Amino acid sequence: MAKVTIDNIEIEVPDGTTILNAARMMGGESVPPAMCYHSKLQGSGGKCRTCLVKVTAGSAKDPRPMPKLVVSCSTPVQDGMIVQNITSPEVLEARRGVVEFLLINHPLDCPVCDQAGECSLQDLGYEHGLQRTRYEFERRTFDMIDIGEKIKLHMNRCILCYRCVYTANQITNGRVHGVISRGDHAEISTYIENVIDNDFSGNVIDVCPVGALTDRTARFANRVWFLKPMDAHRNCDKCCGKTVVWQKANEVIRVTGRKDKYGEIEEFICNTCRFDKKNVSDWTIEGPRAIESSSVISQNHYTNLHQMNASIKKLLLEKQTLQITK
Ligand code: SF4
Ligand code: FES
């Protein structure tokens, strides 16, 4: 076991645990954001640099600080290591820079993007982003491509996190897509636009942290915050059959895998469950999915709204009183 201190909180974790996972075991606000790491995908991480942290003491044996910020998703803890995340202004500044870089080519088309409301980059942008861009050059643009009958690739939105590539490599039998070219020419490609047509290909949609890969059977069908996410299951001979069914009244708008609180898939599901079972009668509904209260999808957001309305009313009353007094 190794003792590590993150943002002044000490935790003991098994040797070999990464700083990010140690922070996740601890929970709370000190957990660094992660766009490319995905706990179910071997080899993921190390691409986006949103999870940068500062190591102020490397270990009990060698307490020298690490000379540069490190990526927490790929750096293992050492006994006696001291790490700063939100307590370091340097980390927060670097993260703002990373978000600015990620947004250089990413279009701000959230009002029409299917991922809006559940997009990691949108959340990150709100927390760390600037309100304007300093980038003056032309953004790189690509035509939209259908990869298979059910998946749309909108390469303009891709942040090259490689999650979909690892998914295709690790949970399906044949590799049919990957990243071609390098630098600002790099793009996700199915080579000669081959279709991805295996039983688990739809999972690339769930792992994509932005709206680059979307479900063609549910594109533009509804905004995610108007839907009711329900935990549901069915007997499936290909996958676990445990999903989230997104309902509007009695209509099933889309089906996705279940994600944990870090937005990472708990178990991958097959294409039959995802694309072909769009009737409520296909599913045993377990109950409403618990969603983070800060999310726009949250079932509790009405409570927040009431609280917000109350404080807005109070502010308005104060303002009116002030005007009357004047
Ligand atoms: S398409 Fe999505 S999952 Fe794939 S590399 Fe781009 S951002 Fe990542
Ligand atoms: S999550 Fe660590 S580099 Fe992307």
Residue 29: CB partners within 8 Å, gap ≥ 6?
86
The number of the ligand nearest the C-alpha atom of 154 reads: 1
Distance 69 CA to ligand 2 centre (A): 12
Q: Are strands 52-57 and 81-84 parallel, antiparallel or unpaired?
A: antiparallel
* Per-residue pLDDT at 129: 75
Exposed (0-12), middle (13-18) or buried (19+): which is 173, by Cβ within 10 Å? exposed
Q: Which amino acid is at 302?
A: Y
Distance 3 CA to ligand 1 centre (A): 35
* Per-residue pLDDT at 310: 53
**Consecutive H or E run containing 180:** strand 178-180
Give first-to-last CA distance, the chain, whole Å: 66
Could you tell me if 74 and 45 are in contact, meaning their C-beta atoms sit under 8 angstroms apart? yes
pLDDT tens-digit series, residues 175-210: 677 887 788 888 887 754 555 677 888 999 999 999
Structure tokens at 27: 């929970």
pLDDT tens-digit series, residues 261-282: 899 999 999 999 999 999 999 9
* Per-residue pLDDT at 171: 80
- Decide whether any atom of ligand 2 lies within 6 Å of the 46 Cβ: yes
Residue 211: CB partners within 8 Å, gap ≥ 6?
113, 114, 115, 116, 119, 154, 157
- Decide whether any atom of ligand 1 lies within 6 Å of the 188 Cβ: yes
Sign of CA dihedral 209, 212, 213, 214: positive
Place of tokens 């999903």: 243
pTM comes to: 0.84
* Per-residue pLDDT at 305: 45
Low-confidence ranges of the chain (pLDDT < 70): 174-175, 191-196, 299-326
